[in-house]
Amino acid sequence: MKYQTPSTSKEAAVLIQGERGQAFVLAGGTDLMVRMKGRFVEPDLLVDIKQIPAMQSIKKLATGFRIGAAVSAAEMGENTSLKKTWPGVVESANLIGSDQIQNRCTIAGNLCNASPAADAVPALIAAGAKVNVVGPQRRRTVAVEKVITGPGTTSLRKGEVVEAITLPKRPPKSGDAYLRFTPRSEMDIAVVGAGVSLTLDSNLVIKSARVALGAVAPTPLLVPAAAQAIVGTKLNKAALNLLAQACCAACNPIDDKRGTIEFRTEVAGVLAQRAAKMAYQRARGK
Partner 1 sequence: MMAGTLVSTMINGDATEFVCQTGETLLEVLRNRLGLTGSKEGCGTGDCGACSVTLDGRLVCSCLVLGVEAQGREVGTVEGLADGDSLHPLQSNFIKHAALQCGICTPGFLIASKALLDRNSNPTDEEIRFALAGNLCRCTGYDKIVRAVRATATELRKK
Contact string (CB under 8 A) for partner 1, positions 139-168, x = contact: ------------------------------
Minimum CB distance to partner 1 smaller for 26 or for 144: 26
**40 near partner 1 (CB under 8 A):** no
Residue burial 108-126, b: 16+ Cβ < 10 Å; e: rest? bbbbbbbbbbbbbbbbbbb
> Could you give the CA distance from residue 278 to residue 241 in angstroms, rounded to a whole number?
16
For the bound state, the minimum distance from the C-beta of residue 191 to partner 1, rounded and expressed in Å, comes to 18
What's the CA dihedral at 60, 66, 72, 77 to 10 degrees? Answer: 40
CB 63 within 8 A of CB 166: yes
Query: Of residues 8, 17, 48, 208, which one binds partner 1 by CB under 8 A?
Result: 48
DSSP string, 115-182: -TT-SHHHHHHHHT-EEEEE-SS-EEEEEGGGTEEETTEESPPTT-EEEEEEEEPPPSSEEEEEEEE-
CB 76 within 8 A of CB 107: yes
Minimum CB distance to partner 1 smaller for 130 or for 258: 258
Judged by CB under 8 A, the chain residues 82 through 121 that form the site for partner 1 are 97-101, 103-104
Minimum CB distance to partner 1 smaller for 19 or for 160: 19
Query: Of residues 14, 26, 129, 212, which one binds partner 1 by CB under 8 A?
Result: 26
**37 near partner 1 (CB under 8 A):** yes
C-alpha distance from residue 279 to each of 4, 87, 169, 244, 265 (Å) = 42, 9, 17, 15, 21
Query: Of residues 7, 21, 22, 33, which one binds partner 1 by CB under 8 A?
Result: 33
For the bound state, the minimum distance from the C-beta of residue 37 to partner 1, rounded and expressed in Å, comes to 6
SS3 of 252-266: the string is CCCCECCECHHHHHH
208 three-class SS: strand
For the bound state, the minimum distance from the C-beta of residue 164 to partner 1, rounded and expressed in Å, comes to 21
- Can you state the angle between helices 87-94 and 120-127, rounded to 10 degrees? 170
Query: Of residues 46, 215, 223, 251, which one binds partner 1 by CB under 8 A?
Result: 46
Query: Of residues 6, 19, 24, 30, which one binds partner 1 by CB under 8 A?
Result: 30
CB 213 within 8 A of CB 272: yes
**22 near partner 1 (CB under 8 A):** no
What's the CA dihedral at 201, 202, 205, 208 to 10 degrees? Answer: 10
Minimum CB distance to partner 1 smaller for 46 or for 247: 46
For the bound state, the minimum distance from the C-beta of residue 182 to partner 1, rounded and expressed in Å, comes to 12
Judged by CB under 8 A, the chain residues 172 through 231 that form the site for partner 1 are 186-187
Query: Of residues 21, 22, 34, 143, which one binds partner 1 by CB under 8 A?
Result: 34
> Could you give the CA distance from residue 149 to residue 56 in angstroms, rounded to a whole number?
27
Q: Which residues bind to partner 1, rule: CB under 8 A?
A: 1-3, 5, 26, 29-30, 33-34, 36-38, 46, 48, 50, 72, 74, 97-101, 103-104, 186-187
